[in-house]
Structure 1
Amino acid sequence: MSEDAYIHKVLPGSPGGPILFVFHGTGADETQLVPLGRDLVPAAIVSPRGDVSEYGAARFFRRTGEGVYDMGDLARATAKMSSFVKAHARPVADTTDGKFSAVLGLGYSNGANILASLTFAEPDLFDAVVLMHPLIPFQPEIKGSLAGKRILITAGRHDPICSPNLTARLEANLQSAAADVTVEWHEGGHEIRANEIEAARRFLAARPGQGA
Protein backbone atom coordinates (compact mmCIF):
# COMPACT_ATOMS: atom_id res chain seq x y z
CA MET A 1 0.00 0.00 0.00
CA SER A 2 1.17 3.55 -0.73
CA GLU A 3 0.41 4.46 2.89
CA ASP A 4 3.11 2.03 4.01
CA ALA A 5 5.55 2.63 1.13
CA TYR A 6 8.09 4.13 3.56
CA ILE A 7 9.10 3.44 7.13
CA HIS A 8 7.45 6.41 8.78
CA LYS A 9 6.24 8.04 11.97
CA VAL A 10 2.74 9.47 12.45
CA LEU A 11 1.61 11.84 15.19
CA PRO A 12 -2.13 12.56 15.33
CA GLY A 13 -3.51 16.09 15.23
CA SER A 14 -6.78 17.77 16.09
CA PRO A 15 -9.92 16.80 14.12
CA GLY A 16 -10.33 19.11 11.16
CA GLY A 17 -6.83 20.55 11.56
CA PRO A 18 -3.90 20.56 9.11
CA ILE A 19 -1.52 17.75 8.29
CA LEU A 20 2.23 18.42 8.05
CA PHE A 21 4.62 16.16 6.14
CA VAL A 22 8.25 16.50 7.24
CA PHE A 23 11.24 15.25 5.23
CA HIS A 24 14.62 14.71 6.92
CA GLY A 25 18.13 15.48 5.72
CA THR A 26 20.76 12.99 4.53
CA GLY A 27 21.82 10.58 7.25
CA ALA A 28 18.88 11.30 9.55
CA ASP A 29 15.60 9.41 9.84
CA GLU A 30 11.89 9.86 10.47
CA THR A 31 12.50 11.24 13.97
CA GLN A 32 14.69 14.21 12.97
CA LEU A 33 12.08 16.86 12.20
CA VAL A 34 9.11 15.65 14.23
CA PRO A 35 9.97 17.83 17.28
CA LEU A 36 10.44 20.84 15.01
CA GLY A 37 7.14 20.17 13.28
CA ARG A 38 5.36 19.88 16.62
CA ASP A 39 6.91 23.19 17.70
CA LEU A 40 5.96 25.04 14.52
CA VAL A 41 2.29 24.27 14.00
CA PRO A 42 -0.51 22.30 15.68
CA ALA A 43 -1.04 19.58 13.10
CA ALA A 44 -1.04 15.88 12.43
CA ILE A 45 2.52 14.98 11.40
CA VAL A 46 3.71 12.34 8.96
CA SER A 47 7.45 11.78 8.68
CA PRO A 48 8.81 9.22 6.20
CA ARG A 49 12.33 7.80 6.20
CA GLY A 50 14.21 7.98 2.90
CA ASP A 51 14.40 4.61 1.13
CA VAL A 52 17.86 5.09 -0.40
CA SER A 53 21.04 4.20 1.51
CA GLU A 54 24.21 6.13 0.72
CA TYR A 55 26.92 4.23 2.58
CA GLY A 56 24.40 3.69 5.36
CA ALA A 57 22.98 7.23 5.33
CA ALA A 58 19.28 7.45 4.51
CA ARG A 59 18.26 9.67 1.58
CA PHE A 60 15.16 10.12 -0.55
CA PHE A 61 16.90 9.66 -3.92
CA ARG A 62 20.30 8.71 -5.29
CA ARG A 63 23.13 11.01 -6.31
CA THR A 64 26.50 10.43 -7.95
CA GLY A 65 28.27 13.31 -6.15
CA GLU A 66 27.58 16.43 -4.11
CA GLY A 67 24.93 18.31 -6.07
CA VAL A 68 24.95 15.74 -8.90
CA TYR A 69 21.62 13.95 -8.88
CA ASP A 70 20.52 10.70 -10.44
CA MET A 71 17.58 12.31 -12.25
CA GLY A 72 15.99 8.97 -13.08
CA ASP A 73 15.96 8.01 -9.42
CA LEU A 74 14.67 11.45 -8.46
CA ALA A 75 11.72 10.88 -10.81
CA ARG A 76 11.12 7.46 -9.23
CA ALA A 77 11.28 8.88 -5.72
CA THR A 78 8.99 11.78 -6.60
CA ALA A 79 6.29 9.50 -7.99
CA LYS A 80 6.56 7.13 -5.02
CA MET A 81 6.45 9.95 -2.47
CA SER A 82 3.52 11.59 -4.22
CA SER A 83 1.50 8.40 -3.79
CA PHE A 84 2.55 8.20 -0.13
CA VAL A 85 1.48 11.79 0.57
CA LYS A 86 -1.86 11.32 -1.17
CA ALA A 87 -2.56 8.15 0.79
CA HIS A 88 -2.00 9.90 4.11
CA ALA A 89 -3.68 13.19 3.18
CA ARG A 90 -6.88 11.64 1.84
CA PRO A 91 -10.14 12.51 3.65
CA VAL A 92 -10.36 10.81 7.02
CA ALA A 93 -13.42 9.84 9.02
CA ASP A 94 -12.44 11.49 12.30
CA THR A 95 -12.24 15.08 11.00
CA THR A 96 -15.13 17.48 11.23
CA ASP A 97 -15.55 17.93 7.48
CA GLY A 98 -13.98 14.71 6.26
CA LYS A 99 -10.63 16.22 5.33
CA PHE A 100 -7.61 18.05 6.69
CA SER A 101 -7.86 21.83 6.72
CA ALA A 102 -4.51 22.14 4.90
CA VAL A 103 -1.74 19.89 3.59
CA LEU A 104 1.64 21.36 4.53
CA GLY A 105 5.19 20.28 3.75
CA LEU A 106 8.53 20.97 5.43
CA GLY A 107 11.89 19.56 4.38
CA TYR A 108 15.51 20.12 5.29
CA SER A 109 18.44 19.63 2.89
CA ASN A 110 17.80 16.36 1.00
CA GLY A 111 14.27 16.45 2.41
CA ALA A 112 13.80 19.94 1.01
CA ASN A 113 14.98 18.66 -2.36
CA ILE A 114 12.39 15.87 -2.55
CA LEU A 115 9.72 18.31 -1.34
CA ALA A 116 10.72 20.79 -4.04
CA SER A 117 10.56 18.02 -6.66
CA LEU A 118 7.07 17.09 -5.46
CA THR A 119 6.04 20.73 -5.77
CA PHE A 120 7.39 20.96 -9.32
CA ALA A 121 5.68 17.71 -10.34
CA GLU A 122 2.33 18.27 -8.61
CA PRO A 123 1.75 21.89 -7.63
CA ASP A 124 -1.62 21.07 -6.04
CA LEU A 125 -0.23 18.43 -3.67
CA PHE A 126 0.57 20.88 -0.85
CA ASP A 127 -1.12 24.10 0.23
CA ALA A 128 2.18 25.55 1.49
CA VAL A 129 5.77 24.31 1.69
CA VAL A 130 8.88 25.20 3.68
CA LEU A 131 12.16 24.39 1.94
CA MET A 132 15.04 24.59 4.41
CA HIS A 133 18.42 24.74 2.65
CA PRO A 134 17.32 23.16 -0.63
CA LEU A 135 19.82 22.46 -3.39
CA ILE A 136 18.21 22.41 -6.84
CA PRO A 137 21.07 22.28 -9.38
CA PHE A 138 18.75 21.75 -12.37
CA GLN A 139 16.15 23.83 -14.19
CA PRO A 140 12.78 22.87 -12.69
CA GLU A 141 10.11 21.54 -15.02
CA ILE A 142 6.88 22.67 -13.40
CA LYS A 143 3.95 20.50 -14.42
CA GLY A 144 0.98 22.74 -13.80
CA SER A 145 0.49 26.11 -12.17
CA LEU A 146 2.27 27.46 -9.09
CA ALA A 147 0.22 30.66 -9.23
CA GLY A 148 -0.23 31.88 -5.65
CA LYS A 149 1.42 28.78 -4.14
CA ARG A 150 2.97 29.77 -0.80
CA ILE A 151 6.63 28.73 -0.54
CA LEU A 152 9.18 29.66 2.12
CA ILE A 153 12.87 29.06 1.40
CA THR A 154 15.43 29.34 4.19
CA ALA A 155 19.15 29.49 3.50
CA GLY A 156 22.61 30.37 4.81
CA ARG A 157 24.67 33.01 3.04
CA HIS A 158 27.80 30.90 3.63
CA ASP A 159 26.28 27.48 3.02
CA PRO A 160 29.06 25.19 1.70
CA ILE A 161 26.52 22.76 0.24
CA CYS A 162 24.05 25.13 -1.40
CA SER A 163 25.60 28.37 -2.64
CA PRO A 164 23.51 31.54 -2.34
CA ASN A 165 23.39 31.95 -6.11
CA LEU A 166 21.57 28.61 -6.44
CA THR A 167 19.09 29.69 -3.79
CA ALA A 168 18.55 32.96 -5.66
CA ARG A 169 18.10 31.01 -8.91
CA LEU A 170 15.47 28.76 -7.30
CA GLU A 171 13.66 31.83 -5.96
CA ALA A 172 13.67 33.39 -9.43
CA ASN A 173 12.40 30.20 -11.06
CA LEU A 174 9.53 29.94 -8.60
CA GLN A 175 8.67 33.60 -8.92
CA SER A 176 8.63 33.30 -12.71
CA ALA A 177 6.05 30.54 -12.22
CA ALA A 178 3.93 33.03 -10.20
CA ALA A 179 4.49 31.32 -6.83
CA ASP A 180 4.25 33.41 -3.66
CA VAL A 181 7.86 33.02 -2.51
CA THR A 182 9.56 34.28 0.65
CA VAL A 183 13.26 33.76 1.40
CA GLU A 184 14.70 33.88 4.92
CA TRP A 185 18.50 34.16 5.11
CA HIS A 186 20.95 33.79 7.95
CA GLU A 187 24.69 34.51 8.01
CA GLY A 188 25.75 30.93 8.65
CA GLY A 189 26.06 27.73 6.65
CA HIS A 190 23.90 24.64 6.20
CA GLU A 191 22.63 24.53 9.78
CA ILE A 192 19.12 25.51 10.85
CA ARG A 193 19.11 28.71 12.92
CA ALA A 194 16.56 30.40 15.17
CA ASN A 195 15.49 33.09 12.71
CA GLU A 196 14.51 30.56 10.05
CA ILE A 197 12.57 28.52 12.61
CA GLU A 198 10.65 31.65 13.59
CA ALA A 199 10.08 32.49 9.91
CA ALA A 200 8.70 28.98 9.36
CA ARG A 201 6.42 29.35 12.38
CA ARG A 202 4.98 32.63 11.06
CA PHE A 203 4.67 31.22 7.57
CA LEU A 204 2.78 28.09 8.62
CA ALA A 205 0.50 30.07 10.91
CA ALA A 206 -0.50 32.51 8.18
CA ARG A 207 -3.61 32.01 6.12
CA PRO A 208 -3.51 32.31 2.33
CA GLY A 209 -3.31 35.97 1.39
CA GLN A 210 -1.68 36.99 4.66
CA GLY A 211 1.90 36.32 3.52
CA ALA A 212 4.66 35.00 5.77
Structure 2
Amino acid sequence: MADLPLEHVHVAPDAESETDLAAEATEAAPAVFILHGRGADEEDLLPVARHLPDDHHVFSLRAPDPLHGGYTWYDLDLSAGGLEASQPDAADFRRSLDLVAESVDAAVDAYSLDPDRIGLLGFSQGAITSLSLVLENPDRYAWVVALHGYLADSHADLDPDGIEGKPVFVAAGAGDRVIPESRSLDAADRFAEIGAAVTRGSYPGGHGIGQEELADVVAFVESQRV
Protein backbone atom coordinates (compact mmCIF):
# COMPACT_ATOMS: atom_id res chain seq x y z
CA MET A 1 0.00 0.00 0.00
CA ALA A 2 1.34 3.41 -0.98
CA ASP A 3 2.18 5.95 1.70
CA LEU A 4 -0.36 8.80 1.61
CA PRO A 5 -0.51 11.80 3.96
CA LEU A 6 -3.71 10.35 5.48
CA GLU A 7 -4.25 6.83 6.78
CA HIS A 8 -6.60 4.98 4.45
CA VAL A 9 -8.04 1.78 3.11
CA HIS A 10 -7.42 1.09 -0.57
CA VAL A 11 -9.67 -1.25 -2.54
CA ALA A 12 -8.30 -2.01 -6.01
CA PRO A 13 -10.56 -2.56 -9.02
CA ASP A 14 -11.77 -6.09 -9.53
CA ALA A 15 -9.77 -8.05 -12.11
CA GLU A 16 -11.65 -11.16 -13.18
CA SER A 17 -9.17 -12.36 -15.78
CA GLU A 18 -5.59 -12.06 -16.94
CA THR A 19 -6.89 -9.84 -19.74
CA ASP A 20 -8.33 -7.47 -17.17
CA LEU A 21 -5.05 -7.42 -15.30
CA ALA A 22 -3.13 -6.61 -18.47
CA ALA A 23 -5.54 -3.79 -19.26
CA GLU A 24 -5.07 -2.36 -15.77
CA ALA A 25 -1.34 -2.28 -16.32
CA THR A 26 -1.71 -0.11 -19.43
CA GLU A 27 -4.85 1.95 -18.73
CA ALA A 28 -5.21 4.56 -16.05
CA ALA A 29 -8.19 3.67 -13.84
CA PRO A 30 -10.81 5.97 -12.29
CA ALA A 31 -10.98 6.42 -8.53
CA VAL A 32 -13.30 7.58 -5.79
CA PHE A 33 -12.04 9.11 -2.54
CA ILE A 34 -14.37 8.54 0.40
CA LEU A 35 -14.53 10.89 3.39
CA HIS A 36 -16.35 9.66 6.50
CA GLY A 37 -18.32 11.65 9.05
CA ARG A 38 -17.46 12.99 12.49
CA GLY A 39 -16.50 10.27 14.98
CA ALA A 40 -16.27 7.50 12.36
CA ASP A 41 -13.23 6.09 10.55
CA GLU A 42 -12.01 4.85 7.19
CA GLU A 43 -13.96 1.58 7.56
CA ASP A 44 -17.32 3.26 8.10
CA LEU A 45 -18.39 3.84 4.49
CA LEU A 46 -16.86 0.71 2.97
CA PRO A 47 -20.32 -0.95 2.84
CA VAL A 48 -21.36 1.93 0.56
CA ALA A 49 -18.18 1.58 -1.50
CA ARG A 50 -18.94 -2.10 -2.18
CA HIS A 51 -21.92 -1.03 -4.28
CA LEU A 52 -19.92 1.33 -6.50
CA PRO A 53 -18.65 0.32 -9.96
CA ASP A 54 -15.97 -2.34 -9.51
CA ASP A 55 -13.65 -0.82 -12.09
CA HIS A 56 -12.84 2.06 -9.70
CA HIS A 57 -10.04 2.32 -7.20
CA VAL A 58 -11.55 3.18 -3.81
CA PHE A 59 -9.56 5.17 -1.27
CA SER A 60 -11.36 5.58 2.04
CA LEU A 61 -9.46 8.22 3.98
CA ARG A 62 -9.20 8.58 7.76
CA ALA A 63 -9.64 12.05 9.25
CA PRO A 64 -6.56 13.32 11.12
CA ASP A 65 -7.84 13.86 14.68
CA PRO A 66 -9.07 11.19 17.15
CA LEU A 67 -12.57 11.66 18.56
CA HIS A 68 -14.63 9.28 20.74
CA GLY A 69 -13.07 6.12 19.35
CA GLY A 70 -13.20 7.44 15.80
CA TYR A 71 -11.80 10.47 13.99
CA THR A 72 -12.82 13.97 12.97
CA TRP A 73 -11.87 16.29 10.13
CA TYR A 74 -12.19 19.39 12.29
CA ASP A 75 -13.52 20.78 15.53
CA LEU A 76 -16.87 22.56 15.45
CA ASP A 77 -17.38 26.30 15.68
CA LEU A 78 -20.67 26.63 17.59
CA SER A 79 -20.61 30.41 17.96
CA ALA A 80 -23.60 30.82 15.62
CA GLY A 81 -25.82 28.97 18.05
CA GLY A 82 -25.53 25.19 18.26
CA LEU A 83 -25.05 22.04 16.25
CA GLU A 84 -27.71 22.86 13.66
CA ALA A 85 -25.86 26.13 12.86
CA SER A 86 -22.30 24.84 13.32
CA GLN A 87 -19.38 25.70 11.04
CA PRO A 88 -15.93 24.11 10.70
CA ASP A 89 -13.16 25.49 12.85
CA ALA A 90 -11.14 27.51 10.31
CA ALA A 91 -7.64 26.24 11.15
CA ASP A 92 -8.69 22.58 11.43
CA PHE A 93 -10.68 22.81 8.23
CA ARG A 94 -7.82 24.30 6.27
CA ARG A 95 -5.48 21.55 7.45
CA SER A 96 -7.90 18.77 6.48
CA LEU A 97 -8.62 20.27 3.07
CA ASP A 98 -4.90 20.37 2.38
CA LEU A 99 -4.33 16.83 3.65
CA VAL A 100 -7.10 15.40 1.47
CA ALA A 101 -5.85 17.27 -1.60
CA GLU A 102 -2.29 16.06 -0.93
CA SER A 103 -3.53 12.48 -0.46
CA VAL A 104 -5.41 12.60 -3.77
CA ASP A 105 -2.33 13.89 -5.58
CA ALA A 106 -0.12 11.24 -3.97
CA ALA A 107 -2.54 8.45 -4.91
CA VAL A 108 -2.80 9.64 -8.51
CA ASP A 109 0.98 9.36 -8.80
CA ALA A 110 1.42 6.14 -6.82
CA TYR A 111 -1.37 4.17 -8.52
CA SER A 112 -1.27 5.76 -11.99
CA LEU A 113 -4.89 6.87 -11.66
CA ASP A 114 -6.72 8.66 -14.44
CA PRO A 115 -6.46 12.31 -13.30
CA ASP A 116 -9.60 13.19 -15.27
CA ARG A 117 -11.77 10.58 -13.50
CA ILE A 118 -11.36 11.36 -9.79
CA GLY A 119 -14.54 11.50 -7.71
CA LEU A 120 -15.26 12.52 -4.12
CA LEU A 121 -17.90 10.91 -1.90
CA GLY A 122 -18.42 12.32 1.57
CA PHE A 123 -20.89 11.94 4.41
CA SER A 124 -21.62 14.71 6.97
CA GLN A 125 -18.25 16.33 7.77
CA GLY A 126 -16.85 14.42 4.80
CA ALA A 127 -19.56 15.93 2.57
CA ILE A 128 -18.77 19.43 3.80
CA THR A 129 -15.10 18.83 3.11
CA SER A 130 -15.82 17.38 -0.33
CA LEU A 131 -17.98 20.33 -1.42
CA SER A 132 -15.24 22.75 -0.39
CA LEU A 133 -12.55 20.77 -2.18
CA VAL A 134 -14.38 20.82 -5.51
CA LEU A 135 -14.88 24.57 -5.21
CA GLU A 136 -11.19 25.11 -4.49
CA ASN A 137 -10.03 22.95 -7.40
CA PRO A 138 -12.88 21.97 -9.74
CA ASP A 139 -10.50 20.76 -12.44
CA ARG A 140 -9.11 18.06 -10.12
CA TYR A 141 -12.46 16.35 -9.45
CA ALA A 142 -14.77 14.91 -12.10
CA TRP A 143 -17.76 14.70 -9.75
CA VAL A 144 -18.74 14.91 -6.10
CA VAL A 145 -21.32 13.19 -3.91
CA ALA A 146 -22.24 15.07 -0.71
CA LEU A 147 -24.50 13.20 1.70
CA HIS A 148 -26.07 15.01 4.65
CA GLY A 149 -23.65 17.93 4.61
CA TYR A 150 -23.73 21.65 3.91
CA LEU A 151 -21.68 24.35 2.24
CA ALA A 152 -19.29 25.95 4.72
CA ASP A 153 -19.55 29.74 5.07
CA SER A 154 -15.85 29.98 4.19
CA HIS A 155 -16.60 28.68 0.69
CA ALA A 156 -20.16 29.85 0.11
CA ASP A 157 -19.20 32.80 -2.09
CA LEU A 158 -16.72 30.97 -4.31
CA ASP A 159 -17.56 30.83 -8.01
CA PRO A 160 -14.50 29.26 -9.62
CA ASP A 161 -13.75 28.68 -13.26
CA GLY A 162 -14.40 25.05 -14.10
CA ILE A 163 -17.44 24.56 -11.86
CA GLU A 164 -19.95 25.02 -14.69
CA GLY A 165 -21.42 21.67 -15.64
CA LYS A 166 -19.65 19.84 -12.82
CA PRO A 167 -21.78 16.85 -11.70
CA VAL A 168 -22.73 17.28 -8.03
CA PHE A 169 -25.05 14.96 -6.10
CA VAL A 170 -26.48 16.38 -2.86
CA ALA A 171 -28.59 14.28 -0.50
CA ALA A 172 -30.52 15.41 2.56
CA GLY A 173 -32.53 13.71 5.27
CA ALA A 174 -36.03 15.03 5.90
CA GLY A 175 -35.70 13.84 9.49
CA ASP A 176 -32.04 14.76 9.96
CA ARG A 177 -31.56 16.51 13.32
CA VAL A 178 -27.78 16.75 13.02
CA ILE A 179 -27.61 18.60 9.70
CA PRO A 180 -31.09 19.86 8.84
CA GLU A 181 -32.45 19.12 5.39
CA SER A 182 -32.58 22.84 4.60
CA ARG A 183 -28.80 23.24 4.99
CA SER A 184 -28.08 20.46 2.53
CA LEU A 185 -30.60 21.75 0.01
CA ASP A 186 -29.22 25.28 0.36
CA ALA A 187 -25.85 23.85 -0.74
CA ALA A 188 -27.53 22.25 -3.76
CA ASP A 189 -29.14 25.58 -4.62
CA ARG A 190 -25.82 27.40 -4.44
CA PHE A 191 -24.07 24.89 -6.69
CA ALA A 192 -26.93 25.15 -9.19
CA GLU A 193 -26.67 28.95 -9.05
CA ILE A 194 -23.00 28.89 -10.07
CA GLY A 195 -23.64 26.46 -12.89
CA ALA A 196 -22.92 22.98 -11.56
CA ALA A 197 -25.00 20.07 -12.86
CA VAL A 198 -26.80 19.33 -9.61
CA THR A 199 -28.72 16.18 -8.73
CA ARG A 200 -30.49 16.44 -5.41
CA GLY A 201 -32.42 14.04 -3.28
CA SER A 202 -34.34 14.32 -0.03
CA TYR A 203 -34.98 11.11 1.87
CA PRO A 204 -37.32 10.33 4.79
CA GLY A 205 -34.64 9.15 7.23
CA GLY A 206 -32.36 10.96 9.63
CA HIS A 207 -28.58 11.30 9.70
CA GLY A 208 -27.74 8.12 7.84
CA ILE A 209 -27.78 6.51 4.41
CA GLY A 210 -30.89 4.48 3.62
CA GLN A 211 -31.41 2.00 0.79
CA GLU A 212 -33.21 4.43 -1.54
CA GLU A 213 -30.47 7.00 -1.06
CA LEU A 214 -27.76 4.40 -1.63
CA ALA A 215 -29.42 3.27 -4.86
CA ASP A 216 -29.51 6.86 -6.11
CA VAL A 217 -25.84 7.39 -5.20
CA VAL A 218 -24.83 4.25 -7.09
CA ALA A 219 -26.87 5.30 -10.13
CA PHE A 220 -25.24 8.74 -10.07
CA VAL A 221 -21.69 7.33 -9.87
CA GLU A 222 -22.42 4.83 -12.63
CA SER A 223 -23.70 7.68 -14.81
CA GLN A 224 -20.27 9.36 -14.56
CA ARG A 225 -18.46 6.43 -16.18
CA VAL A 226 -16.97 7.21 -19.56
- The TM-score with structure 1 as length reference comes to 0.86
Q: 1:54 to 1:63 in 2, by over 3 A?
A: farther
2-structure distance, mates of 1:61, 1:183: 26
Please give the alpha-carbon distance, in whole angstroms, between the structure 2 residues aligned to 1:122 and 1:3.
Answer: 23
Whether contact under 8 Å (2:116, 2:142) holds in the other structure is no
Aligned partners of 1:153 and 1:183 also within 8 Å: yes
Q: Secondary structure at the match of 2:201?
A: strand
Aligned twin of 1:26: 38
Q: 2:46–2:60: 8 Å Cα contact kept in structure 1?
A: yes
Residues 43-122 of structure 1: matches in 2 within 5 Å? 43-65=56-78, 66=83, 67-90=86-109, 92=111, 99=114, 102-122=117-137
Shift of 1:134: 0.8
Partner of 2:6: 6
Choose from 169, 190, 195 the match for 2:207: 190
Alignment length (residue pairs) = 204
The offset of 1:62, in angstroms, is: 2.1
The answer to whether 1:134 aligns with 2:153 is no
Matched position secondary structure for 2:149: coil
For residue 66 of structure 2, what is the amino acid of its counterpart?
A: S
TM-score norm. by structure 2 comes to 0.81
In structure 1, the residue corresponding to 2:63 is in which secondary structure?
coil
Residue 38 of structure 1: how far off its partner (Å)? 2.1
Q: Which amino acid aligns with 1:121?
A: E
Identity, in percent, stands at: 23
Structure 2, unpaired ranges of 5+: 15-23
| Separation in structure 2 between the aligned mates of residue 85 and residue 77 of structure 1, nearest angstrom | 12
Please say which structure displays the higher CA radius of gyration: 2
Which aligned segments of 4 or more residues in structure 1 are displaced greater than 3 angstroms? 54-57, 90-93, 98-101
Point out the more displaced range, 33-42 or 150-159. Answer: 33-42
Q: Which residue of 1 aligns with 2:21?
A: none
Taking a change above 3 Å as real, the CA distance of residues 100 and 135 of structure 1, as seen in their structure-2 partners, is: closer
The question of whether the paired residues in 2 share the 8 Å contact of 1:151 and 1:180 is answered with: yes
In structure 1, runs of 5+ residues without a counterpart are none
Q: Distance in 2 between matches of 1:163 and 1:11?
A: 32
